[in-house]
Chains A and B, each alone.
Chain A
Amino acid sequence: MSDPQLAALWGLGGLEDATEDVLRALASRFHVRPVAAGETVCAVGDASRHLWVTLSGEVECVLPGIPGGARTAALGPGKLFGHVGVYTRAPRQFTVRATGDGTLLELDDGAADALLREPGMVGRAFRHMLLHAVLHQLHTVDATLLRLAVAATRARPPSEDPR
């Protein structure tokens, strides 16, 4: 097991209590998937059959159909994506594309569901990793929305009302 895989998982957070052996066991459950520049990892509306952790390179999340092609996030090494669709069984909300050559750690939905329910230290480490990542993503969405809302309020001139 190469260290970058452990580093990518460690970078997700929530694994403070996991030993290196547990991390190695967790990493061994994922497949390594190379991706080429421009390759679509998943497309908006697709069935959600995998989750991924970026190992090297970068992927971008885009919302097709919006003028200008809205890029909502760029995910470098050590970022989790695809899990929301897997655990809600909802179609993909984003199209995700590789911006350059890179590698992903990939887990299919069956393995992801089994690992979620697995007793013992490896299952626990996986759940704690997921919980930390989702809480961080919720925080990011909430904080971004609120900052933009506050900025919009402040940008509004006091003489906005023509009367």
Chain B
Amino acid sequence: MGGGARAGYIAATDGTVDFGLSRFLINAPLLAGLPPAARDDVIRAFRPRPFGDGEALLTADADPGGLLVLVDGAAEVWIRVGGRRAPVGRLAAGDAVGAHALFGRGIPRVADVVGLGTGIAALLPTLEWQRLVAEDHPAATAIEIALVRSLCFRLHHRLDQSLPALADASEEEVVASLSTIRSRS
């Protein structure tokens, strides 16, 4: 169940984004540099996705249904392997998750994203994404560029925090590195 929409981000009755979400998306890094007409076109493709405290926005077992952009609130990223899991990062407004569903064909998923308190995300459904790509829409290019850069920053950060412990192959330090990654995310 959703956690309920927050004030100012009430979904429009036709399921499309309301004025508050639109205003956020206009300034989102994901759509930076787009001409206004192209930007407005893609914003209409997003759907509001309210979430509650502890609610899974994305799980390793299920397709999230598209790309999620966190609009308000926070979420925590957990990784799991072999029935065990550990927190590795925290997401804030503007962060995007779900790129795996669009670009990670064949790569196993290990991450869950869970709401920290109530919040709202904007979902770009997979079918809408495929339409943008098929049309060679400038928004598809802008989103891909933003995702490349943000995922490279995410990988850089993850390596920066974890490599010394990983390279040293001390299991205790690896455990500690997970805590470090979490605290600095």
**Residues on A close to B: CB < 8 A?**
13-14, 16, 63, 66-67, 70, 72, 83-85, 87-88, 90, 93, 116-117, 119-120, 123-124, 127-128, 130-132, 134-139, 141-153, 155
Contact = CB atoms under 8 A, between A and B. Distances in A.
A57 B168 CA distance: 26
Contact of B81 (A66, A93, A143, A153): A143
Contacts of B12: none
18 contacts: A63-B164, A70-B168, A88-B156, A90-B156, A124-B136, A128-B103, A131-B104, A137-B155, A139-B109, A141-B166, A142-B111, A145-B166, A145-B178, A147-B81, A148-B171, A148-B175, A149-B174, A152-B175
Nearest to A136: B107
A26 to B, nearest CB: 15
A69 B71 CA distance: 44
A12 to B, nearest CB: 12
Q: Is the interface of A mostly helix, strand, loop or mixed?
A: helix
Contacts of B14: none
Contacts of A120: 136
B138 interface: yes
Contacts of A152: 171-172, 174-175
Given A87-B153, A135-B99, A138-B158, 15 more contacts: A85-B156, A90-B156, A117-B145, A119-B141, A124-B141, A131-B99, A134-B148, A135-B107, A136-B104, A136-B107, A137-B155, A139-B109, A142-B79, A143-B110, A145-B166
